[in-house]
Amino acid sequence: MLVEPAQRPRQGEVWAFCDAEVSIVVHRCRGRRREGWLFEGDAVGRADPVVPESWLIGRVVSIRHDHAERRVGRGDRVMGTVAIAARRARRVLRRAGRRAPRPGGVAEGW
């Protein structure tokens, strides 16, 4: 994985940061709060605790997997933003008592 310094996270970007246990975490940025930044893992589906500015390491620009390097770019950021918005919409619909549609399918009653 290659991480580079950046000024600030943008929604949908993948960033490396330290958590409260001083472990390095790599998650997608959900947005900014007064106290710091919100991140969420793609596989987890729930937000991490707020990350203070001083815990940020940098933006992930490439990932090495199975001896191949893959750049993380604008398309990944856009798709990540869409995924975050879809998860958020499903949570809102669930709280409202409606059945949220799954990607690629149609929910009954819609």
Residue-wise pLDDT for 33-64, tens only, equals: 999 999 988 877 677 899 999 999 999 998 88
What is the share, in percent, of the chain residues with pLDDT greater than 70?
Answer: 86
Tell me which DSSP letter residue 105 carries.
Answer: S
Architecture per CATH, 2-95: Roll (2.30)
pTM to 2 decimal places: 0.71
